[in-house]
């Protein structure tokens, strides 16, 4: 583990640039889960994530001569913003590799924070793709590489989040939820808590579509995933670091995987109920609360809101995923008889709150039936089965495609 003394020193080193973010008890969540839930608002950093801590600490403690020709990093977005800000603050040139799939909002923010001091290059589809190119360039040109998580100085910087939490909490922290990608945040925070608050239970929260840590813990060795769902881009890695993996094994008490649809549902809930804008990585720990309802009752719980860099253009995708996860949106292929009134007969089967959100139909000549792709949105997931029962009773020829991945991805 990283020593608590090192993390204490890191907090002093970064204090001139890094904000001491609020630790706030959330009334609504505390009432809902019958406990005291505190939010550590790292989404309120200048770069809207905790990544500025590790990036700045690493660069601030490096040999100045080593950085004279510039630095290199790879990132899916948040680490890049931290490095870009540090480059501008320290007058260091930086070359930043990012996946081509990175949300535009994050790319523009990187350029904004780095200004003339940085250059952004887009390469590959995932962080790991960009990382390979960055590491190769670093080795070829002998330029310092600022790793997003697998570096002791970076981990120490991230660990300063824990120091601020414990400095402010008046009561012992019973449970701490931490989002996991490469493992830098939980390694730093976990190291500090295991030395300063040994009774705290640390829960690692990982995206179900990118379970690099969970698979590695299961195998008791580093596991590289063949493919991942990069939706939760801030924590989507194919392999965690060897250093962070060893620390994680020492500090994690439990790990939970959260489906991407559940993450989306939490993003919308936080926005609608709390006016908090978070990215998928920032929402994942909130999504985990439902899986720990009984364990957290009556406890003091802390959630690190690790990032708020969400692109507004992703809103419809997030809403769609949330509705599908909640069972409130369903798609059907319906083969309508090619006669007048066939569509009206179907519409009469819908409930008063059922909404047609999608309809595609082309009349086929010289055929008895014509297929239509129909998307229905329900107020409650309980409205789905009654409609299906009515369709069956009416002799409607249909196929539900939500559970058919090939058809669903092709048509929707």
**CATH number, domain at 214?**
3.40.50.1100
Q: 44 and 162: one domain? A: yes
Among 124-133, 313-322, 358-367, where is mean pLDDT lowest? Answer: 358-367
DSSP state of 302: E
Q: 231 and 106: one domain? A: no
Check residue 411 and give its pLDDT.
75
Q: 272 and 338: one domain? A: no
CA distances from 241 to 95, 320, 326 (A): 21, 33, 34
DSSP string, 275-298: -----HHHHHHHHHGGGGHHHHTT
CA distances from 111 to 77, 94, 105, 107, 120 (A): 11, 11, 10, 6, 7
Q: 227 and 272: one domain? A: yes
The pLDDT-based confidence of 364 (bands split at 50, 70, 90) is low
Q: 117 and 158: one domain? A: no
Q: Residue 308 contacts by C-beta under 8 Å, 6 or more apart in sequence?
A: 43, 44, 48, 49, 276, 277, 278, 279, 282
Among 188-192, 242-246, 306-310, where is mean pLDDT lowest? Answer: 306-310
Q: Is the pLDDT of residue 112 over 90?
A: yes
Structural domain count of the chain: 3
Q: 116 and 30: one domain? A: no
CA distances from 384 to 74, 239, 332, 342, 378 (A): 45, 39, 12, 21, 7
DSSP string, 17-52: TS----EEE-HHHHHHHTSEEEEEEGGGSTTSBTHH
* Of 141, 176, 209, the domain-final residue: 141
Query: What is d(CA 318, CA 310) in angstroms, rounded to the nearest whole number?
Result: 10
Give yes or no for a contact between 96 and 81, defined as CB atoms under 8 angstroms apart.
no
Check residue 123 and give its pLDDT.
95
Residue 102 lies in a domain: yes
Query: What is d(CA 286, CA 38) in angstroms, rounded to the nearest whole number?
Result: 11
Per-residue pLDDT reduced to its tens digit, 128-137: 899 999 999 9
Q: Is the pLDDT of residue 314 over 90?
A: no
Q: 198 and 317: one domain? A: yes
φ/ψ bin of 340: left (φ > 0), alpha (ψ from -120 to 50), beta (otherwise):
beta
Check residue 365 and give its pLDDT.
62
Residue 146 lies in a domain: no
The pLDDT-based confidence of 44 (bands split at 50, 70, 90) is very high
Average pLDDT over residues 322-349: 90
Give the chain's length.
412
Per-residue pLDDT reduced to its tens digit, 127-184: 889 999 999 999 999 999 999 999 999 999 999 999 999 999 999 999 999 999 999 9
**CATH number, domain at 370?**
3.30.70.260
Q: 226 and 284: one domain? A: yes
Q: Residue 297 contacts by C-beta under 8 Å, 6 or more apart in sequence?
A: 33, 34, 35
CA distances from 230 to 24, 345, 372 (A): 30, 42, 31
Mean pLDDT, the chain, whole residue set: 93
User: Taking the model in full, what pTM does it have?
Assistant: 0.87
Q: 165 and 102: one domain? A: no
Domain that residue 371 falls in: 327-411
Check residue 229 and give its pLDDT.
86
Average pLDDT over residues 305-328: 88
Per-residue pLDDT reduced to its tens digit, 215-248: 999 999 999 999 888 888 888 889 999 999 999 9
Residue 148 lies in a domain: no
Instruction: Give backbone dihedrals phi and psi of 97, rounded to 5 degrees, phi first.
Output: -95, 130
Q: 309 and 371: one domain? A: no
Q: 218 and 74: one domain? A: no
The pLDDT-based confidence of 203 (bands split at 50, 70, 90) is very high
Residue 270 lies in a domain: yes
Query: What is d(CA 46, CA 163) in angstroms, rounded to the nearest whole number?
Result: 19
């Amino acid at each position: 583990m990283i020593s608590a003394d090192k993390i204490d020193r890191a907090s002093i080193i970064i204090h001139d640039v890094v904000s001491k973010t609020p630790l706030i008890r959330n009334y609504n969540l505390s009432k809902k889960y019958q406990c005291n839930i505190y939010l550590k608002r790292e989404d309120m950093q200048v770069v809207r994530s905790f990544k500025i801590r590790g990036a700045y600490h690493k660069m601030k403690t490096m040999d100045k001569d080593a950085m004279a020709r510039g630095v290199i990093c790879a990132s899916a977005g948040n680490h890049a913003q931290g490095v870009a800000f540090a480059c501008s603050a320290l007058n260091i040139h930086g070359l930043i590799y990012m996946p081509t799939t990175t949300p535009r909002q994050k790319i523009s923010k990187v350029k904004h924070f780095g200004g003339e001091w940085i250059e952004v290059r887009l390469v590959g589809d995932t962080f790991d793709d960009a990382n390979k190119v960055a590491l190769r360039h670093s080795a070829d040109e002998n330029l310092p590489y600022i790793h997003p998580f697998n570096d002791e100085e970076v981990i120490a910087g991230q660990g300063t989040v824990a120091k601020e939490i414990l400095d402010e909490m008046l009561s012992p922290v019973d449970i701490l939820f931490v989002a996991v990608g490469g493992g830098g945040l939980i390694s730093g925070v976990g190291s500090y808590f295991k030395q300063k608050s040994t009774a705290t239970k640390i829960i690692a929260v990982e995206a179900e579509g990118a379970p690099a840590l969970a698979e590695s813990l299961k195998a008791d060795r580093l596991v590289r995933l063949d493919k991942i769902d990069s939706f939760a881009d801030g924590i989507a890695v194919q392999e965690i670091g060897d250093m962070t993996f060893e620390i994680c094994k020492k500090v994690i008490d439990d790990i939970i995987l959260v489906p991407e649809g559940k993450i989306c549902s939490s993003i919308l809930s936080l926005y609608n109920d709390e006016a908090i804008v978070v990215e998928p990585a920032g929402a994942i720990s909130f999504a985990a609360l439902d899986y720990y309802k009984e364990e957290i009752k009556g406890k003091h719980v802390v959630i690190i809101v690790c990032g708020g860099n969400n692109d507004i253009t992703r809103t419809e995708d997030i809403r769609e995923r949330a509705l599908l996860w909640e069972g409130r949106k369903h798609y059907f292929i319906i083969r309508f008889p090619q006669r007048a009134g066939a569509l009206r007969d179907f519409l009469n089967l819908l409930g008063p709150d059922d909404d047609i959100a999608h309809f595609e139909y082309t009349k086929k000549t010289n055929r008895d039936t014509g297929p239509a792709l129909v998307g229905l949105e329900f107020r409650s997931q309980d409205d789905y089965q009654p409609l299906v029962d009515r369709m069956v009773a009416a002799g409607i020829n249909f196929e539900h495609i939500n559970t058919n991945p090939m058809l669903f991805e092709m048509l929707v």
